[in-house]
Amino acid sequence: MRHSKYYIFLAALICACISCGGRKSVQVGPAQSEAIVTDPAARIQHYSDLIATKGEKPEYFLERCRAYIAMGDYDAALQDAEKALILDPQSIEALSCKGTILIRLQRYSDAIAVCSQVIERDAGDAQAYGDRGIAYYTLNKIKPSLEDLERSIALKTDDAQHYLTAAMILHRQEHWESALSYYAQAITLDPECADAYRYRAKIHEVLNNYREEMEDYRLLIKVLPDDPQPYNERALMYLRKREYSLALKDLNAAIGLDPTYALTYRNRGDLYCYQRQYDLAQQDYSIAVTLQPQLVSPYINRAEIYYLTQDKQRALEDCRNALQNAAGTPESSLYMDAQAMMFLCQGDYQKAVALLLQAVKKFPKQAALYNKLGEAYFRLGKKNAAIDQWKQALSLHRSYPFAAHARALLGFK
């Protein structure tokens, strides 16, 4: 079995982790520099020298191919893999390296064909099954992908990406416990597998495992200390728990790491909105749409503030911007949210109710839609119906902002 490791989400690999054959490799003598063993560039030079002085041998091209993979030079790696195959057409190692390279080059159909050739020659090759499973997954062929990945796992693959991809499929299918198990195995094989922490945290969110979710975000930030996104994600967790000071700390940290990341300002605007600090919320939403004018949600959220503060003209302008940006997705939750906001601003509450009843049926976990449906019912004088919708919004998002009349009816200060 081979032990090649490749990670779709990581740009570079160390040479020691690349052994596309797990079988016998060209050995470097004790007199050679240790750099040749550990440094991909030194290995490339070493095997180039061997090719120049001792002739074209398939094992030289194969070893240089592995070094090129570690360097991220996949075009050069492919040339060497194909050269090794010309010199030794029976080399499964070279063929498997070619499959890995084709995935890196996003030539997934070609990768499937090559991995299938490896499997035909060696039905016990865990790496080939796993690689082919990843290629199927990328092409959205979920059934054969999971079959191949689970075959790879049954054959004791040591590639964390195989476990991660299988976990992602089971995650999508809401097989929570199996997905959690595979995420854990991916992390065991690769403690720096950021996506395993990220997606596992999402399952803990669904299962209300707050401590486990918080721990996964802590580990994710440890793996990616200079990436603003983990701070953003943990801030959203804190917002759900109404831990506003902790959320603000994370959002400020994210902005410090990348002051141009628009969604961070959108999220901080939400935080200020939940605290009814509307001036600060407006400022952050304005920064978000300045940095990324094609966004939809900051316009909707700012429109809500203008609506709550009786500035209907600017609320309508934001609704129009939101609808324009979401024009290509009329059945999306954001488009329907923006359209409902437009109806509320125009005072057309019957149309708002009709639209929102469709929206909450299609998107039953969107607190913003229930909130607006409650507002529309309230404006139509249907207070009991309004309260029911607001309670549903609160069950989904305890921090969601409500107008003064909604707070009074629900017993909030």
Question: In the prediction, which pLDDT does 34 show?
Answer: 56
Q: Domains in the chain, please, with CATH?
A: 1-123 (1.25.40.10)
The CA distances from residue 40 to 32, 33, 102, 154, in Å, are 14, 13, 20, 32
Question: In the prediction, which pLDDT does 1 show?
Answer: 45
Burial (0-12, 13-18, 19+ Cβ within 10 Å), 205: middle
Question: In the prediction, which pLDDT does 386 show?
Answer: 93
Question: In the prediction, which pLDDT does 274 show?
Answer: 87
The CA distances from residue 273 to 279, 345, 403, in Å, are 9, 19, 11
Question: In the prediction, which pLDDT does 14 show?
Answer: 26
pLDDT lower than 70: segments of the chain: 1-37, 399, 404, 412-413
Q: How far apart are CA 182 and CA 178, in angstroms?
A: 6
Question: In the prediction, which pLDDT does 411 show?
Answer: 74
Q: How far apart are CA 170 and CA 44, in angstroms?
A: 40
Query: CA torsion angle for 330, 335, 337, 343 (degrees, to 10)?
Result: -80
Question: In the prediction, which pLDDT does 287 show?
Answer: 98
